[in-house]
Amino acid sequence: MTGLTFHQFICRSDNYGLLLHDHKSGATAAIDAPDAAEIERQLDARGWKLTHILTTHHHGDHVEGNLPLKQRYGCNITGPKDEAAKILGIDQVVSGGDRFSWDGREVLVMDCPGHTLGHVAYYMPAEEAVFAGDTLFSLGCGRVFEGAMEQMHRSVTQFALLPPTTQLFCGHEYTQSNARFALSVEPGNTDLVNRVAEVDRLRAETKMTCPSTIGIEKATNPFLRTGSAEIRKVLGMEHANDMEVFAELRERKNSFK
């Protein structure tokens, strides 16, 4: 870890805002730009100037701040090549498998089609941090709007290959509602029961439940646990393959009340 500060806050209703700041170089990046006014407020309060925006996908609640922030700071905007036409103010396009340097730090681009077709995540190995946008949430995953279930399954499961200590930053604070679904399909998972208790306590104090870690998610997130005997039993899918279990979980979550 090399002198990088992560500042996370909630904006709109349940979007995460996230700023990365290097106090030596002054470089400051926003992961997505859900709300220009709130991001400006957070920057001003710290005396930081926005130099970069890293966009995960084209949805309005992730790009609406792009143009006003660019107007004020002249910041450089990076985003997925396949969605460049829908990402206002984009300067630099990236695709899955690319690596680039931000403020002298290596950033690996992960291809994450499913929620949207061009969705990318950004992984900074030396900072042990990954920015997953709306692909992987704590205790859940994004809805499959544009891609196929097979794509989303691959997109989500690749996160399990990252080191377990990797901090997982997500696009939304959805953990508590995800938790109810997760418990309904794996009530006997004590790691999950303990995590849900922690999440309830944090939310009761209006604290954030992210960043999570890849290790926590592998132990608790049903979408990364398609091999779990209990989940398979609850779904009645003991002999299905992982993709089928994943798809069934995603379908059930869509209508879960």
Q: Can you give the binding site for Zn ion, defined by CB under 5 A? A: 59, 134
Tell which residue, 147, 123, 144, 124, has the closest CA to residue 134. Answer: 144
* E strand segments, 62-211: 76-80, 92-94, 99-102, 105-111, 120-124, 129-131, 136-137, 140-141, 167-169
Q: Which stretch binds Fe ion (CB under 5 A): 95-103, 163-171, 220-228, 235-243?
A: 163-171
Residue 250: name its binding partner from Zn ion, Fe ion, none (Cβ under 5 to 8 Å by kind).
none
In whole angstroms, the minimum distance from the beta carbon of 244 to Fe ion comes to: 26
Residues 32 and 172: beta-carbon distance below 8 Å: no
Q: Coil, strand or helix: which one is 225?
A: coil
Q: Which is nearer to Zn ion, 59 or 70 (CB)?
A: 59
Residue with Cβ nearer Fe ion (89 or 171): 171
- Identify residues 164-203 at the interface with Fe ion (CB under 5 A): 171
- Contacted by 147, from Zn ion, Fe ion, none: CB < 5 to 8 Å by type: none
45-74: contacts with Fe ion (CB under 5 A): 61
Two structure tokens written together for 18: 């996230």
Least distance in angstroms from the C-beta of 138 to Fe ion: 14
Question: Tokens standing for 141?
Answer: 């995953």
Can you give the C-alpha Rg of the chain in angstroms?
A: 18
Judged by CB under 5 A, which of 134, 173, 217, 248 binds Fe ion?
134
Number of C-beta neighbours around residue 104 at 10 A: 11
Report the C-alpha gap between 235 and 240 in whole angstroms.
10
Question: At closest approach, how far in Å is the CB of 254 from Fe ion?
Answer: 16
To the nearest whole angstrom, how small is the minimum distance from the Cβ of residue 59 to Zn ion? Answer: 4
| Amino acid identity, position 82 | D
Q: Which two tokens stand for residue 232?
A: 């398979």
CB of 3 to Fe ion, least distance (A): 30
Binding at 111: pick from Zn ion, Fe ion, none (beta carbon under 5-8 Å per type): none
What residues make contact with Fe ion under the rule CB under 5 A? 61, 134, 171
